[in-house]
Structures are given as structure tokens and as C-alpha cells.
Amino acid sequence: MEYYFFTEKMSVGYQKHSLIENIEIRLEKGQILTLIGPNGAGKTTVLKSIARQIALTGGVVYLDQHNAANLSGAEFSQKMAVVLTERMHTEMMTCEDVTATGRYPYTGHFGILTEDDRRVVREAMELVHVTDIKDQDFTRVSDGQRQRVMLARAICQEPEIIVLDEPTSFLDVKYKLEFLSVLQQMRKERGLTVIMSLHELELAERVSDKILCINGKYVDRFGSPEEIFEDGYISKLFRISSGSYNEKNGNMELEAVKGNAEVFVIAGGGTGRNVYRRLQRQGIAFDAGILFRNDLDYPVAKALASCCVEAESFEPITDTLLETAKKRVDICRKVICCKESFGTLESANRELLEYAKKENKEIEIILPKRFG
């Protein structure tokens, strides 16, 4: 397999001073690459270097078997489109006018649009759903709309590869998903290759074929999402010190309350998560249990509880584990139970609740609200 886009020892930086060196990217045609990394790690610098906005400080970028640096401006502009974060100060330009600037590489000497060009503009605007604002002034539309117009502009350019710098930052959840869907659609229909930076890790994990992790000095990892999102890696890359990020499910939790547990929470099957988070908000330290390792509540409890009494998945809870849980209950002044009934395998939790009652612990039952 030949790579459509690849770099050889690419070094990027400003004024001959390298920030990040020896970047090796390998992309096949139609793949989506996402750059992730902490703020100021150099994601934008890498993207700008790929887009020839700033000169490489070393190495080579190959695009469709050509050294990108040797392509003429016109050739390059027909291959690569960009969507950047910098604000533009257009004057008296409608959203349609801005979109139409994407046709620039294809129009004649005076830049007059043909009927064909107008059709491409129209289709691009329909694809990202901005047709209804086409006659509005570009400076008067919202940030999200502006972002979508800029995508339409890039699509108009009919590129083979598109470079986007944090394209989803200003979009609400609906448009975030829609934006990425459009990219996937373009990739499927036209074999578009995509290189972008994203702040939303959970989206990056879902949409990317390849992920490049930058940490400010060097490329830490380059690989598939499965390779990147392994336990503990994201926390390390972003140097998370307060709170936690769960690579398995993309959950973020705030920092756990420190100190001795005051409350023991009996939960399972997703009934306890909101209780754990409420206790965290109220600044109350708690223990959680007894939870199977594959329980929905387990990752949250793991992140927030002082101690989590955990049981092997799909196995009955052992007596030793129950004894451990009882000892934790002894320390606490209160027990919160989030379960109405207990299944066969978790009868130990019922026993635990009975034990708490017998020990005269304050008991509170919080059942998840059911709707409909």
C-alpha cells in the first residue's frame, strides 16, 4: 500500500528554531488523522507547517508522491484546503461570497464564477446546511455558522486533503456530530484525506483512523485509537493532576474528595453514579461497594470513592469480600442504598444493608428516578 500523505523527519517551528522534531506521519488515501495534545503543545504549528503556511525547519512532507514543497501554489491549492482558527475581518461579503472564494484555484484570470462553479458552491453549502444564511453578511452570523461556512469554502476547493485546526470548537453537540459526519461522508464518497486537531478526545477516538499525540517537545505516539487510548495514557499526555480521564469510556471526573469516608454507598447497574458525583460536589468523602468490575458505576466509583470494594465480574461475591465491605461500613456514619431489589449474584449487597441496619447506621435510600 502506498501512502497518500507521509512525512520524513518533519521538524516544525518558527524562525529556523525547531519546536517539534522528527515527526513521522503515514496516511493512506481517505484516512482521518487527528492531532491531540495539551494546549500549547504545537498542534497548530504542525498543521500550519503541513499546509505550507510556515516553512518546515527540517525534513520533507510528501503529498500524493510529490514533495509538497516543490508543488506550485496553484497545484498545491487544488490538492489541499484549510480551515483555520484565525478570525477574519471581511467587509460586505455574504456567506455565499466567502464560500465562493474556495473556487479560486479553478476560476480564470479575473476570477469570474461560471455556472458550474456556482453549482459547486451551492452543493457545498447544502452539504453543511448553511444555505439558509447564504445572503447574510459573514460578520453577522454566529461563530458556529461561520465555522460551517468555512468548511463549505474548503469543500468548494474540491481538495484531496483537508487540514482543519480545531474545527469543532465553536459548534454545539448537534453540529459537532454533523461536522464530523460530513467529513466521513466526504472521505467515503471522494476519498478525502483529513488532518485535523481536536480538543474533544471522545470524538477523536471515534472518528480517527490515526491519532498523533503531541506533548510540546516531541511526538509521543502515532497510531490507531485503540493503541492510543490505553489505560492511563491520556492522563499522562495531558499531565492531568486534578480529576481523572477514563480512556475506556471517555468519562471525565473531577478530583475525588480526600479524607476518611463518611458515607458508604451501595449501588450497581448505573444507579450510583449520580449519587457519587453529588457527594463529590458536596465535598463528602465516601466508600463504594460492592461493585462488579464491569458495572456501569464501577469507573465512576473508582475515580471518586476513597475506597471501592470491587468484585470479579460474572463471579459470585465471596465472603471475604463481604467482610471487607462490612469493615468499611463500620467506619462510616451513614449508608446510602441506591437499589430497590438485589439480583441473585449480588445478594451480598442485601446482607451488607441488613448489617448496616443492625449496626444502627443512618440509612438513606436514594432510588434513581424513572421516567415514563
Partner 1 sequence: MQQDRKIRYITAFLFLIMAAIVLFAANICIGSVKISLGDILRNLLGEKIDQTTERILWDIRLPRTLAALILGGALALAGYLLQSFFHNPIAGPFVLGISSGAKMIVALVMVFLMGRSIKVTSMALIFAAFLGAMISMGFVLLMSRKINNMAMLVVSGVMIGYICSAITELVVTFADDADIVNLHNWSRGSFSGMTWDHVAVMTGVIAAAFAVVFLMAKPLSAYQLGDAYAQNMGINIRLFRTELVILSSILSACIVAYAGPISFVGLAAPHIVKSMLGTTMPILMIPACFLGGGVFCLFCDLLARNLLAPTEISISTVTAIFGAPVVIWIMIKRNREKIF
Residues that bind partner 1 (CB under 8 A): 48, 51-53, 72-77, 80-82, 84, 86, 88-93, 97-98, 101, 104-105, 107, 109-112, 135, 139-140, 157
For residues 77 and 158, the answer to whether their CB atoms sit within 8 Å is no
**In which residue are the cell numbers 471581511 written?**
90
Comparing C-alpha atoms, which of 157, 161, 159, 150 is closest to residue 25?
161
**In which residue are the cell numbers 467506619 written?**
331
For residue 89, the Cα-to-chain-centroid distance in whole angstroms is: 29
Question: What burial class does residue 107 get, using C-beta atoms within 10 Å of its C-beta: 0-12 exposed, 13-18 middle, 19+ buried?
Answer: middle
Smallest distance, partner 1 to C-beta of residue 190, A? 19
Smallest distance, partner 1 to C-beta of residue 211, A? 24
For residues 252 and 344, the answer to whether their CB atoms sit within 8 Å is no
Smallest distance, partner 1 to C-beta of residue 262, A? 51
Question: What burial class does residue 262 get, using C-beta atoms within 10 Å of its C-beta: 0-12 exposed, 13-18 middle, 19+ buried?
Answer: middle
Nearer to partner 1, 14 or 218 (CB): 14
Smallest distance, partner 1 to C-beta of residue 23, A? 21
Nearer to partner 1, 153 or 187 (CB): 153
Dihedral in degrees, nearest 10, Cα atoms 334, 340, 343, 347: 30
Smallest distance, partner 1 to C-beta of residue 135, A? 6
Nearer to partner 1, 149 or 207 (CB): 149
Smallest distance, partner 1 to C-beta of residue 71, A? 9
For residues 141 and 131, the answer to whether their CB atoms sit within 8 Å is no
Helices (H) and strands (E) in the chain, counts: 13, 18
Smallest distance, partner 1 to C-beta of residue 302, A? 44
Nearer to partner 1, 96 or 253 (CB): 96
Cα 32 from Cα 29, distance rounded (Å): 9
Cα 141 from Cα 143, distance rounded (Å): 7
Nearer to partner 1, 81 or 348 (CB): 81
